[in-house]
Amino acid sequence: MTIPTSEEVREVLKQRVKDPELMMNIVDLGLIYTVEITPDRTAEITMTLTSPGCPAGPEIITSVQRETHTAFPDLDEVNIHLTWTPFWNPDMMSEEAKEELGIF
């Protein structure tokens, strides 16, 4: 049985889950706030979206849950906690993401 680290979950999300509008991974966009793996084999992922009305929100959230479960089948649960605090802004993006989108 292999239980992932928080960093391993982040790396899977970085490789597998993109914002369908921006075509950029959600980790570099700064949408994943925290990933905690509990002793009872649960991934607790706190994340946000670029806006409360994000039309791709349900798709992104479903992808986070599905891809985490697929990559780490030994996890019993993957819980997604959507938050608006702090509210997302472009400063939360990685330098690579800012460069790719032309934000300097």
Question: pTM score > 0.75 for this model?
Answer: yes
Question: Thinking of the domain 6-97, which architecture would CATH place it in?
Answer: 2-Layer Sandwich (3.30)
Judge whether residue 9 has pLDDT over 90.
yes
Confidence band, pLDDT 50/70/90 cuts, at residue 1: confident
Q: What is the mean pLDDT of residues 13-40?
A: 97
So where are the chain's domains? 6-97
Judge whether residue 19 has pLDDT over 90.
yes
- Is the Cβ–Cβ distance between 12 and 67 less than 8 Å? yes
CA distances in angstroms from 59 to 7, 21, 67, 102, listed in the order given: 23, 11, 12, 25
Interatomic CA distance for residues 36 and 79, integer angstroms = 10
Question: Which residue has tokens 């479903």?
Answer: 62
**Token representation of residue 18:** 């993109």
Q: What is the mean pLDDT of residues 5-28?
A: 97
Q: Write out the DSSP string of 15-47.
A: HH-EETTTTEETTTTT-EEEEEE-TTSEEEEEE
In this predicted model, what pLDDT tens digit does every residue of 46-69 receive, in sequence order?
999 999 999 999 999 999 999 999
